[in-house]
Structure 1
Amino acid sequence: MKNFALIGAAGYIAPRHMKAIKETGNHLSSAFDINDSVGIIDSISPDSEFFTVFEQFYEHAWQLKRDTSTQLDYVSICTPNHMHASQIAAGLRLGCDVICEKPLVPTSADLDELALVEKETGKRVYNILQLRHHQAILALKDKVANSSSNEKHEVELTYITSRGKWYHTSWKGDPRKSFGVATNIGVHFFDMLHFIFGRLEKNVLHYADEMKASGYLEYEKARVRWFLSVDANDLPDAVVGKQTTFRTINCDGEELEFSGGFTDLHTVSYEEILAGRGYGIEDARHCVETVESIRTQQPQPAASNEAHPMLGQLLGE
């Protein structure tokens, strides 16, 4: 049994990490969040210590190191995106391996810094890249790998996840903290595309605002037109009133709808990490560099064969 600490225990994604810790037979020793709406801990590990001041949490974790039976083995991080780099470094310096939500960090320079801290501490950073464990994605990866054609696959990626007015008031609506829509909701999809189709060769942004973004990516094995949105008005008529999220990949005219199948992917991710097969800094580098490039680009007019179908509707064309 490994001892875990959880930073960001009151967030949306934290219950999946708590569940994964429990289902892999491990112990949630302590948790931290500036907010105290963390009653869900009672259903996972009611004896866990809880802190709302980071310095108190850090001191407690340091004291736990004095006894091999209580010292922390892992720190899991579920905080707002802009906090990840410093909190990962803190976890490593506590002598723990660190498991962090996406995006791992916003820039490749941050990855380089964390790689240095890994060397200094002898500990590892792992990123939750859950789509690499999704059965539909794995099936598509195998299909692409076994294709006899040398032609690049034609791909459309669409991800719409409805968010209310609260989203824009929260940290997620602040690009200084979330780094924008393409990073906040898109980074693991860009990782998925790299996972399936290989090295990125071209990256063009066509549109970006506080609610949606669209562009074109060309990989070794695919030409990808992508569209991401947190606007419920973009949901297809077929799913309106039935579901608030729509995820789909259309590859060579064949649609792969993968809105389902996400429930247990954090547990699978934890199982792989605990077995020594987790995804680390270099695995995350490709998608971090992709979204970093998207954030620094000015939108360009789309070539007709590079535009996502929803882009024309967005621009009123």
Structure 2
Amino acid sequence: MRFGILGVGGYVARKHMEAITTVGGQIVAACDLSDSVGQLDRYAPRCMFTTRDEVFWQDHIHEIDTVVLCTPSWQHIGQAITALKNGKNVVIEKPLALSHESGSRFITDIQQYTGRVYPVVQLRYHPEVATLRTAIDGHCTTLDIDYVVCRGPWYDESWKGQSKLSGGILVNIGIHLFDLAVYLTGNVVDIEAAEVALHEAHGVFKTEHARVTWRLAIVDDPAAVHRRFTVGPVSLDVSDKMSNLHKEVYRRVVSDEKGCDVASVIKSLHLIDAIKTFNIQHD
């Protein structure tokens, strides 16, 4: 299967390229505003490259089976629709959208196209998630999540540090946390507490099967990084074994299997919107 990547110069693109080549895919075209994309040489030295979006869509789209979006978050919906209009499958790096409303419109819009959509929610494929699901097993319980990542000063200077472009800490960093929480414990019932700042957020919400206490933080100390999910006596740090989870997404793509249901993926955006609303109302 032949892939074309938009946003190939970014950090996350390397994970996609590694996953694509691991499952036997071929990267045939790539695009990025920056021309410093030497990491292509490792995975696809003969790949066609351009810094202009219009060249990618006009000159190279016919060579591609699946378009991969590693672009800034606010561009995902429009680029995904363009790929589908061209009869292609599309892999969308997180987040699928910046709000539940835009995600819902996307679901409506894509009904007219035949291409498959593969949202990247790779933590669902983490080998230890089954252990957490077994611990919950449909019973009402408590889930504690402590999710800490390391980002340097560059983060605030980039588009990722601008809430209108990235969705802020809840979307850009927390989307995996919230997706896994809903995936494990069911739909959100109520927001009990939430405080959101630029580099830290925390709160409590209820789902169908759990009362979830969560904290999300951006720090500048790599040693402090962890992504810990605790259900009763079962505590797992899903930072372990995260490095190759993207290949599980691409294994489904090359096998022509369905990806994660888009409707299930945007449930986390519904939760994030509810947290933002609560935070504004109680500020």
TM-score, scaled relative to structure 2: 0.93
Give SS of 2:91's match: strand
CA contact (8 A) 1:61 1:94 kept: no
* One-letter amino acid matched to 2:74: H
CA contact (8 A) 1:157 1:224 kept: yes
1:223 alignment partner, one of 193, 211, 220: 211
CA contact (8 A) 2:25 2:254 kept: no
Aligned to 2:5: 6
What is the distance in 1 between the residues matched to 2:266 and 2:47? 34
Greater CA drift, 278-287 or 5-14 = 278-287
2:165 is the alignment partner of 1:184? no
Structure 1's consecutive aligned runs of 4 or more residues displaced over 3 angstroms after TM superposition are: 299-302
* One-letter amino acid matched to 2:165: K
Aligned to 1:155: 143
Cα distance, 1:225 vs. partner?
A: 0.7
* Residues 215 and 51 of structure 1: CA distance in aligned 2, closer, same or farther (over 3 Å): same
Aligned to 1:283: 264
Unaligned residue ranges in structure 2 (runs of 5+): none
Aligned to 1:80: 72
Among the aligned pairs, what percent are the same residue? 28
Aligned to 2:251: 271
1:174 alignment partner, one of 152, 155, 162: 162
What is the distance in 2 between the residues matched to 1:33 and 1:188? 25
CA contact (8 A) 1:92 1:117 kept: no
Aligned to 1:112: 104
Aligned to 1:18: 17
Q: Report the structure number with the largest CA radius of gyration.
A: 1
1:165-215 deviations in Å (ceiling 9; x for gaps): 111001110001111101111111111111111121112442111111111
CA contact (8 A) 2:142 2:212 kept: yes
* One-letter amino acid matched to 1:36: D
Q: Size of the alignment, in residue pairs?
A: 282
Aligned to 1:259: 239
CA contact (8 A) 2:204 2:213 kept: yes
Aligned to 1:296: 277
Greater CA drift, 104-113 or 45-54 = 104-113
2:116 is the alignment partner of 1:124? yes
TM-score, scaled relative to structure 1: 0.83
Aligned to 1:308: none
* Residues 174 and 205 of structure 1: CA distance in aligned 2, closer, same or farther (over 3 Å): farther
2:186 is the alignment partner of 1:198? yes
